[in-house]
Amino acid sequence: MLYALKDGTKLLSKHRMTYTVKRFIASGGQGEVYEVDDKKGQAYALKWYYPHAATPYQQKLIERLIERGAPDPCFLWPLDIIASPQKGEKAFGYVMRLRTPTYKSIVDLMKRRAEPTFSALCMAAINLADGYQSLHSQGLCYRDISFGNLFFNPADGEVLICDNDNVTVNQDTESGTYGTPRFMAPEIITLNKSPSTETDLYSMAVLLFYMFVLHHPLEGAIEANIKCFDAKAMEKIYGHDPIFIYDPKNDKNRPIPGYQDNAIIFWHMYPPYLREMFTRAFTDGLRNGNARIVEKEWKDAFVRLRNSILYCHGCGAENFFNKKPTCWKCRANITPPPRLNLGRQLLMLNHNSAVFAHHLHENFDFSTRVGKVSQHPQDPKRWGLTNESKDSWTYTKTSGDTAIIEPGKTAPLATGAKINFGPIEGTIE
């Protein structure tokens, strides 16, 4: 079915709001999405179900979700419900916030139509895991985490999670939504298990792997050698006999150079702790739901990765800190910048680095900036950390002398010096 609603159609919602259809946006498996305006001209998106999907069960589900409200602002959650204006027609739809074109999909990332920095990509991963953590903590299950329902802003890593109309309480068995092939946990394929928060964790790990490695974690030599990629082949690769492409105990499914290059290039770029987490997610976590990586672990790992970003002086590429960093792109040796050692966190102090509330409180708040690296206005060779918080810092030189760094003032980046931020003390290395 194409264009169930014509431009200009006026629709009355359950909350007695009038919406006007502005344009068709896209169609999916369950329905079509339109841009609509309310009376004040505020734009929203309207998902309008195909008749086969416009079931009383679905309607009830949407009504419950509206009542419950979004678990986190990143969800484009149902806000209002609209029944068909045609008498006797069972069609309906729901209104949600409109996604702006600044948000890109993972397919855009794969096709390089979006080229975020690693820093923005880490933020997207943190926000993604945070969003699902909020959802799961309310006893809800997303059921269909895949390519199609995550969008992110390549500039800052803000994420939007769409298609929330299949969200149910955990382990609900009434819903007919089992997920998207290639993202479904093996037990859904092989044992017909219902989606749960555990299977969501698997799908989320696949999505994260795609974001960082630009490749599917189970598509290696076995996939490359299949000529007819039919349902049976898919069941084998993603269900009955899944093998992680970098399974340390099984090298049968390594990526093939020339065909699966993304996996080869990106996998080796990441630090061992992240590779170990992905390995765990797609070896133990393949068959054992309890062994899957939980959201907090992912968030910690991507914060650590973000903190460790440094730049190659030769080509400017982003790299990750290790004891002897060599640029993945131009192979030049990299001299690391000064670092702020906060005990459990090590933050690279690059020319554009900032200290956020998270670095002091470990609360994943990356919107409150408390300090930033800045250059001395008269002597560009001298760098410091400017206090952007409301509180004073105590700066201790290697000699033991101390100084107060008032808000707006800058602490020099001298090796061995300590900065007491209040909740935590950091050492410059």
Partner 1 sequence: MVQGATHIRQDKICQDALLLCENGNASDGQVFSIACVADGHGSDRCPFSDQGAKAAVLVATDILKDLLMNPDPKEMLAAQKDIRLPRQIEARWKETVHKMYLEQEVETPDDMPPFSYELYGSTLLALAAASGFIFALQIGDGDIVAIEPDGLARWLLPPCDHAGNETESLCMDECWKYIRTQLIPIDGESPVPLMFLLSTDGYANSFVESAGFLKVGADIYRMWREHGRDYVQENLPAWLSQTTTDGSGDDIAVAILAKEG
Residues forming contacts to partner 1 in the complex (CB under 8 A) are: 1-4, 27-30, 50-53, 107, 110-113, 147, 180-182, 228-231, 234, 259
For the record, the structure tokens of 60 come out as 């009830």
**Which residue has tokens 């933020």?**
123
Asked if 415 contacts 428 with a C-beta cutoff of 8 angstroms, the reply is yes
Least distance from partner 1 to the Cβ atom of residue 261, Å: 10
Least distance from partner 1 to the Cβ atom of residue 52, Å: 5
Give φ, ψ of 67 to 5 degrees.
-60, -40
User: 28 vs 99, 111, 175, 204, CA distance in Å?
Assistant: 16, 20, 18, 21
Least distance from partner 1 to the Cβ atom of residue 316, Å: 23
Measure the CA–CA gap between 195 and 218, rounded to whole angstroms: 20
Q: Is the dihedral of CA 19, 20, 25, 30 positive or negative?
A: positive
Least distance from partner 1 to the Cβ atom of residue 28, Å: 8
Whose Cβ is closer to partner 1: residue 107's or residue 315's?
Answer: 107
Least distance from partner 1 to the Cβ atom of residue 327, Å: 23
CA 402, 423, 384: angle at the middle one, nearest 5?
50
Whose Cβ is closer to partner 1: residue 9's or residue 27's?
Answer: 27
Whose Cβ is closer to partner 1: residue 139's or residue 181's?
Answer: 181
Whose Cβ is closer to partner 1: residue 232's or residue 296's?
Answer: 232
Whose Cβ is closer to partner 1: residue 110's or residue 332's?
Answer: 110
Whose Cβ is closer to partner 1: residue 1's or residue 191's?
Answer: 1
Residues 6+ apart with CB under 8 A from 31: 47, 48, 49, 50, 53, 54, 93
Residue 416 parent element (H or E) = none
Least distance from partner 1 to the Cβ atom of residue 85, Å: 16
**Which residue has tokens 């590779």?**
275
Least distance from partner 1 to the Cβ atom of residue 416, Å: 49
Whose Cβ is closer to partner 1: residue 89's or residue 284's?
Answer: 89
Asked if 119 contacts 318 with a C-beta cutoff of 8 angstroms, the reply is yes
Residue 111 class from Cβ within 10 Å (0-12 exposed, 13-18 middle, 19+ buried)?
A: exposed
Residue 235 class from Cβ within 10 Å (0-12 exposed, 13-18 middle, 19+ buried)?
A: middle
